[in-house]
Chain A
């Protein structure tokens, strides 16, 4: 089933130049990662006053922590489990992306994108939906390009969402640390 979906979707590669151009941009290692990173950075400034901005900055810290922990979690899973990429098992068109050599499961890209989406959802629904749309497009593009199975994306998304909630709980548990850091940063107009 997993492989059949990749084969079917990848069969559309090369049919429409516009779709290929969009997928080539979305499948990239950079587009969604940079966009999500910028959203996490931008919420640092948001808020009507210092108190409201404190909440924004805590969520920005949660986002940065969640991205780091998601990367670590997927690396850890990769250390114990290796799943070959779909183009190793099927005859796929790889004209949209280079053939990666690391494990297919879980998709680190999906993990990062969905962890940012989850953090942004906790902060602001509109930003959360925007990032979720990018995360879904990134996941879809990776399957379309033949470098991930759908379950790799689902696995990465699950890890990302769990890590986002864990990061929020962790920061809340040790809230005194960001509280002190932000209090000092406020003195120098960084926060």
Chain B
């Protein structure tokens, strides 16, 4: 991996974490927020991560406009590292927010007596964390299979 590819991956990863925080705060998906009790601060955090990572990458003094024959990234490499960076950011957000919000989301609004299947879709992450929701789904699938 060239130094530019490493920096590009870092740019995509950090800015994707930021944009996911912004989007999750706008959609009120509290289970995906790093600063869950403060949605407005989460927006500022998201904005700061996006602006900061772009400022570091483009105005940090390191030359970025290089041909792909001299350490630059061609279109395929850009697309590949973009996918890796954004998927990494999504996994990071899902896991880290589940850990930092571990004590929250136990009262997730799901009554197994009323509805045997856990609620589907991201909307449930307004009331619980990703890993808690995912775990409930896996347990439900295991019970169905048994």
Task: Give the size range of A's interface with the partner.
Answer: 35 or more
Q: Is the interface of A mostly helix, strand, loop or mixed?
A: helix
Question: B120: shortest Cβ distance to chain A, in Å?
Answer: 4
From B22, B23, B73, B137, give the contact of A29 (CB < 8 A): B73
Q: Is there contact, CB below 8 Å, between A96 and B65? A: yes
B34 at the binding interface (Cβ < 8 Å) = no
Segment at the B interface, from A7-15, A85-93, A181-189 = A181-189
From A31, A97, A186, give the contact of B121 (CB < 8 A): A186
Q: Is there contact, CB below 8 Å, between B67 and A98? A: yes
A21 at the binding interface (Cβ < 8 Å) = yes
Q: How far is the CA of A96 from the CA of B66 in the complex (A)?
A: 10
- B-side contacts of A189, CB under 8 Å: 121-122, 124-125, 130, 133-134, 137
A33 at the binding interface (Cβ < 8 Å) = yes
Q: Is there contact, CB below 8 Å, between A34 and B29? A: no
From B11, B23, B65, B122, give the contact of A24 (CB < 8 A): B65
Q: Is there contact, CB below 8 Å, between B16 and A29? A: no
Q: How far is the CA of A119 from the CA of B108 in the complex (A)?
A: 35
Q: How far is the CA of A55 from the CA of B58 in the complex (A)?
A: 34
Q: Is there contact, CB below 8 Å, between A187 and B120? A: yes
Q: Is there contact, CB below 8 Å, between A28 and B120? A: no
Q: Is there contact, CB below 8 Å, between A50 and B121? A: yes
- A-side contacts of B137, CB under 8 Å: 187-189
Q: How far is the CA of A48 from the CA of B126 in the complex (A)?
A: 10
Give the contacts of B38-94 with A (CB-CB under 8 A).
50, 54, 57-59, 64-67, 70, 72-73, 75, 78, 82, 86
Q: Is there contact, CB below 8 Å, between A21 and B59? A: yes
Q: Is there contact, CB below 8 Å, between A53 and B123? A: yes
- A-side contacts of B57, CB under 8 Å: 30
A selection of 23 A-B contacts at a CB cut-off of 8 Å is A25-B58, A28-B58, A29-B72, A31-B58, A34-B54, A34-B82, A37-B82, A37-B86, A38-B50, A41-B19, A42-B20, A46-B26, A49-B123, A50-B121, A53-B27, A53-B121, A53-B122, A53-B123, A98-B70, A98-B72, A99-B67, A186-B120, A189-B130
For the complex of A and B, list the 10 residue pairs with the smallest distance between their C-beta atoms, beginning with the closest.
Answer: A50-B121, A25-B58, A45-B23, A42-B23, A186-B121, A186-B120, A42-B19, A98-B67, A38-B19, A189-B133
